[in-house]
Amino acid sequence: MLPVHLIPNSIARFTYTGSTGRGLTTYSNDFLSRALETKHRLNVGGDIVDRETDNLSREWLPDDSYITDPQNAKNGTYFGGTIKRNANDESDGPYSNQYIAPDIVYQTAEESKNGSNNLGISWSVPVEKNTDHFLRLHFCDIFNVQSLLTTFILNIYDQLVISDLNSVIDVSTPYYYDFVVHSDGSGLLNVTVVPNTTVAQPKAFLNGLELMKVIESSGPIPLDSSDSNSKISLPVVVGSVVGGLVLVSVVVVLFIWISKIRKQKPVENSEWLPVRASAGGSSHSRLTDGTTIQGSPLPNINLGLKLSLLDLQFATENFDAKRIIGKGGFGNVYKGVLKNGMTVAVKRSEPGSGQGLPEFQAEIMVLSKIRHRHLVSLVGYCDERYEMILVYEYMEKGTLRDMLY
């Protein structure tokens, strides 16, 4: 919710008359009923102010590209002191409270370079033609060390608006002026500050500028394609939507295609090197020799761990008895060496051991998911020709039983 006194209800209206008069009248006593569309918000003399810095999430842009006579202006020295707020949150001006503008806007300024020569600084910002705009100008004397009379002149469209704009109140105290300006047919709005050479401090300056279009009609605020900060056209919006839909469609088709390829991929003979849990990363590294596995009585439990019977016969010298390193209720355990040089323990089930296909399948499912530094890893399995073989990582120092007994 916006602060109550962020925008005044009664405001001075400026209409360019082309004469020596000031062109000021009262706009309305019900200005708050109008909608405002931000066109420009400038941190004069400073850098960009992001939305995180502003307590109302406003963005302030540098003014350099809007100065029409840069030879007359210079960036004032950054003011590192305290900005004195002489207004509470319910003040409606001219002093600036914390919601009107952040301190950083008042800590920088453009100042006249040659005040004694009566040279002013002008800004020209794009606007809609022949339309009411809300103009707010921010001032803060960050140049003097004590309160001195520093008056200067404010012109809009080269027409005098205020002849004694001053900061005599106090140094480093922010204040602002609001106007409703009816733009002319040029499509630009000009603001000028001119030093007053009759006073002791002939200096003119400006700290910030805000410009918003006044929308008289009720209903939703229309998008303005001429907004200098966000130029959005219908073709751009349509193109973005169509492009997004095409991208999503391509991703979906690619996903379906990859899924089909994976389903149709032939089973390969694979040897997998286990990686201990402490090493991180993937559980296995794959080495393929291209041998096709046939005659499996089991469903595809884990194709990545499947080894061929031929490879295991080679690793154990056709299950030579001299390769036996242990025996269990299910059968013998053989020491083997795979083609990649890895030493493994091969557990081969024997007929009548009591281990059936469901138990064999369950053991593969469980052991393939267990990884621990103190447990041997399941390297693979073989279920060809009614064989039920499990291949484990070989323990060089024997089992825990060997160590204890």
Q: What's the pLDDT score for residue 193? A: 92
In a domain, 256, yes or no: no
Q: Are residues 187 and 93 in the same domain?
A: yes
Q: Are residues 276 and 205 in the same domain?
A: no
Q: Are residues 182 and 322 in the same domain?
A: no
Q: Given 181, 201, 218, which residue is the final one in a domain?
A: 218
**In this model, does residue 374 exceed pLDDT 70?**
no
Amino acid at 354: G
Phi and psi at residue 354, to the nearest 5°: 95, -5
pLDDT class of 269 with cuts at 50, 70, 90 = very low
Q: Are residues 168 and 64 in the same domain?
A: yes
In a domain, 159, yes or no: yes
Q: Are residues 281 and 213 in the same domain?
A: no
Segment 152-194, tens digit of pLDDT: 888 999 888 887 766 456 788 899 999 999 999 999 999 999 9
In a domain, 232, yes or no: no
In a domain, 189, yes or no: yes
Q: Are residues 180 and 308 in the same domain?
A: no
Q: Are residues 287 and 167 in the same domain?
A: no
In a domain, 2, yes or no: no
Q: What's the pLDDT score for residue 227? A: 43
**In this model, does residue 213 exceed pLDDT 70?**
yes
**In this model, does residue 388 exceed pLDDT 70?**
yes
Structural domain span for residue 325: 270-404
**In this model, does residue 242 exceed pLDDT 70?**
yes
Q: Which residues are annotated as a binding site for ATP?
A: 347
Q: Are residues 210 and 277 in the same domain?
A: no
Q: Are residues 297 and 209 in the same domain?
A: no
The Cα angle at residue 241 between residues 240 and 246, in degrees rounded to 5: 95
CATH of the domain at 158: 2.60.120
Q: Are 102 and 55 in contact (CB under 8 A)?
A: yes
**In this model, does residue 225 exceed pLDDT 60?**
no
In a domain, 252, yes or no: no
Q: Are residues 70 and 203 in the same domain?
A: yes
Q: What's the pLDDT score for residue 266? A: 46
Token pair of 256, please?
Answer: 């379906």
CATH of the domain at 318: 3.30.200.20
Q: Are residues 289 and 398 in the same domain?
A: yes
How far apart CA 210 and CA 46 sit, in angstroms, is: 14
Q: Which residue has the higher pLDDT, 7 or 87?
A: 7
In a domain, 230, yes or no: no
Q: For the chain, what is the domain count?
A: 2
Longest dimension (CA), the chain: 117
Q: What's the pLDDT score for residue 226? A: 43
Q: What's the pLDDT score for residue 128? A: 94
Token pair of 380, please?
Answer: 């693979």
Q: Which residues are annotated as a binding site?
A: 347
Q: Are residues 180 and 291 in the same domain?
A: no
Q: Given 191, 218, 245, which residue is the final one in a domain?
A: 218
